[in-house]
Chains A and B, each alone.
Chain A
Amino acid sequence: MKNVFVYCEVTEEKRIAEVSLELLSKGRKLAETLGVKLEAVVLTDQAGDTLETIQEFGVDVIHLAESVELFPYRTLPHFRVVQAIFEKEQPEIALFGATSVGRDLAPRIASVLRCGLTADCTSLEIGDHVDTKTGKEYKNMLYQIRPAFGGNIIATIINPETRPQMATVREGVMKLEKADKKKVAQIKNYKVEEILKPEDLVITIIDRHIEPQKVNLKGAGIIVSGGYGVGSKENFKLLYDLAAVLGGEVAATRAAVDAGYAEHERQVGQTGVTVRPKLYIACGISGAVQHRAGMDQSAKIISINTDPNAPINAIADYAVTGDLMEVLPKMIAYYKKYSK
């Protein structure tokens, strides 16, 4: 009762998804602050060694449901089992990865439990709240913090009355940290066939093609990132050229992705990937809060912008005022000149 739950997503390779391990790391800290337990929920056909991975994160209880109906992921079977677990266990907090699985499952769960859900949080904290109208005090709320639409604004969202307090978080936002001490988790098994009804099995998967991940932004040491100011898909080639000579990856803002200059996998920010490279070169990027949420922890930031007052300049180590079409070729040329 009243514990912190993390829905652990099982990947194609039958491992626990990176984002779930990150959430277990965060969940452990939240549980410690609240003085409660950390519990993991795992739904798959056969758990195999995934449970060992989870044990490294200081989990107290693992709720395990194994059935052929649970892998690969389908909405309704997962929905029914998680609903059954949550109704019985009454979690205080429930965290999901903001993946195509988490974003499919979490809202349906929130709807049936009639509780609040905040998408794409960039930070989670514990704190108190006083309702200014009623004067009622709420202790130890989950602060669900995320950029809000409307300029450089961050909103703190709470669910005072409903439980669980639910949130989704993108991969890379929370730091992955194993527990200092290994704990042996108690494992609770569920009889899936007693939970699922025939109507939960009406959708069938007839074909799947899963490809390995192509773009690896999270692992890149150097990122050359382009915004709407790059102006076209052709101009983006300059960014690829610079990335190639520096040995980096190319990323983009949502405005650039929406305009069709770059693929969606390359989007950095609150609703894209969060990166912490040693060098982030922001080309034609204004620096909206949703974008900065995904890159402001880069070790060094260079901004290239025609506008000397672009907000991104405030967090840049080097602010180059100028046209990227002029600056990037020069960077390539000077790099070649001096790098030998």
Chain B
Amino acid sequence: MEKIKILVLAKQVPDTRNVGKDAMKDDGTVNRGALPAIYNPDDLNALEMALEAKDRLGNAEVYVLTMGPTRAAEIIRESIYRGADEGYLLTDRKFAGSDTLATSYAISKAVKKIDPDLIFCGLQAIDGDTAQVGPQTAEKVDFPQITYVEKLVEISPTQITLKRRLERGVETVVAPLPALITVHGSANPCRARNVKRVMQYKHARTLTELKEENRENSELFKDRPYLKIEEWSVDTIQADDTHLGLSGSPTKVKTIDSVVLAQKENIVLTSSDADVEELMVDLLKSRVIG
């Protein structure tokens, strides 16, 4: 029987959870460069679910697809350390400025090239929290979608049973393959790196990375072809330029305004007994509390 192909969509994101003071510029905007780039948290849950599916099916392979700059190859290495079989980096200057519709168009073209039976994505990426790329990719490749998934209940080569985490409870659904699944952050956390795999794959590189390291003439890929991370461009996936980047994105940012906080007349207090006492007396008197 043919191997079941499982694809994980994973994104590298700036760590918005750590926008500390050092990451702020004087004008109150974030210095993206100062933020660490991390594996989008929900996508790690998605990778774990994909690996669980592979464990249960046996006859399956897990691929990772990420769209981003050269640096995003880190996501692919990280995935391979944790058990993924192979990865593809979708990278091209023409992708820059894509909104979720243009992003899902590009991803869907790559998905068609890979031709998977199952796709796992994160529910949402923390840089935008839109949760749109999963369902939009599903529509473009004509897969049914199952969103907000918390648990893989059962899987066979033809169907999958999943538990969804909704606002007010849980729901269990059965879907035929192929299908696209978006995974909730409450699903199983991702397994740790496998030390053997780290040793084996720590030199995995894209061609561009090798060039950046001035090693384009090295024999690396000739000796160990499995260390080559595939880079795909607009041409590789045969995408139509007009659907990509800024021009292919229906949403446009009209203006960006920094919020100037009008300083409210306020009472400044310390943590001293007298000050806290004054505060509580004030609140009681004005009947805000009590």
Chain A: residues with CB nearer than 8 A to chain B?
A: 12, 72, 75-76, 79, 99-100, 103-108, 110-112, 114-120, 129, 141, 143-144, 148-162, 202-213, 222, 246, 254-255, 258, 271, 278-279, 288-289, 299-300, 302, 308, 311, 313-323, 326-327, 330-331, 334-335, 338-339
Shortest CB–CB separation between residue A194 and chain B, in angstroms?
Answer: 21
B281 in the interface (beta carbon within 8 A):
yes
CB distance B144 to A151 under 8 Å? no
A318 neighbours in B (Cβ, 8 Å): 266-267, 269, 279, 282
Q: Are A153 and B135 in contact (CB under 8 A)?
A: no
User: When A120-B129, A321-B269 are in contact, do A104 and B145 touch as well, CB less than 8 Å?
Assistant: yes
Q: Mark B145-178, 1 if CB is under 8 A from A, else 0.
A: 1111000000000000100001111111111100
Q: Is the interface of B mostly helix, strand, loop or mixed?
A: mixed
Q: List 29 A-B contacts (CB under 8 A).
A: A103-B131, A108-B138, A115-B250, A119-B128, A120-B129, A141-B254, A148-B256, A149-B30, A151-B25, A155-B253, A157-B253, A162-B250, A203-B174, A204-B173, A206-B172, A209-B170, A210-B166, A222-B289, A271-B129, A299-B288, A302-B279, A317-B266, A318-B279, A320-B271, A321-B269, A323-B271, A330-B271, A334-B276, A338-B284
In the complex, are the beta carbons of B289 and A279 less than 8 A apart?
yes
Report B's interface with A, CB cutoff 8 A.
14, 16-17, 19, 24-25, 28-30, 32, 99-101, 104, 127-136, 138-140, 144-148, 161, 166-176, 249-259, 261-264, 266-271, 273, 275-277, 279-284, 288-290
- B147–A100 touching, CB < 8 Å: yes
Give the complex CA separation of A202 and B268 in angstroms: 61
**A205 CB contact (under 8 Å) in B16, B127, B171, B289:** B171
- Nearest first, the 5 A-B pairs at minimum CB distance are A322-B271, A116-B250, A116-B251, A314-B261, A210-B169
Which chain A residues lie closer than 8 Å to B261 at the CB level?
152, 311, 314-315
With both beta carbons as reference points, the residue of chain B lying nearest to A200 in the complex is identified as B144
Q: Contacts A107-B136, A288-B19 given; indicate if A157 touches B251 (C-beta within 8 A).
A: yes
User: A203: nearest residue on chain B (CB-CB)?
Assistant: B175
Q: Tell whether, in the assembled complex, residue A151 and residue B135 are in contact, meaning their CB atoms are under 8 Å apart.
A: no
Question: Which of A72, A246, A317 has the most chain B CB within a 10 Å cutoff?
Answer: A317
In the complex the two chains form, is B271's CB within 8 Å of A111's CB?
A: no
**Residues of chain A within 8 A of B281, CB atoms compared:** 334, 338
**Contacting residues, chain A, for B290 (C-beta < 8 A):** 339
Query: Given the known A-B contacts A104-B147, A153-B256, are A110 and B136 also in contact in the complex, defined by CB atoms under 8 Å?
Result: yes
Query: Shortest distance in angstroms between B139's beta carbon and chain A's nearest beta carbon?
Result: 4
Closest beta carbon of chain A to B211's beta carbon, Å: 31
- Name the one of B148, B168, B255 contacting A104, with C-beta atoms under 8 angstroms: B148
Across the interface, do B101 and A159 meet the contact criterion of CB distance under 8 Å?
no
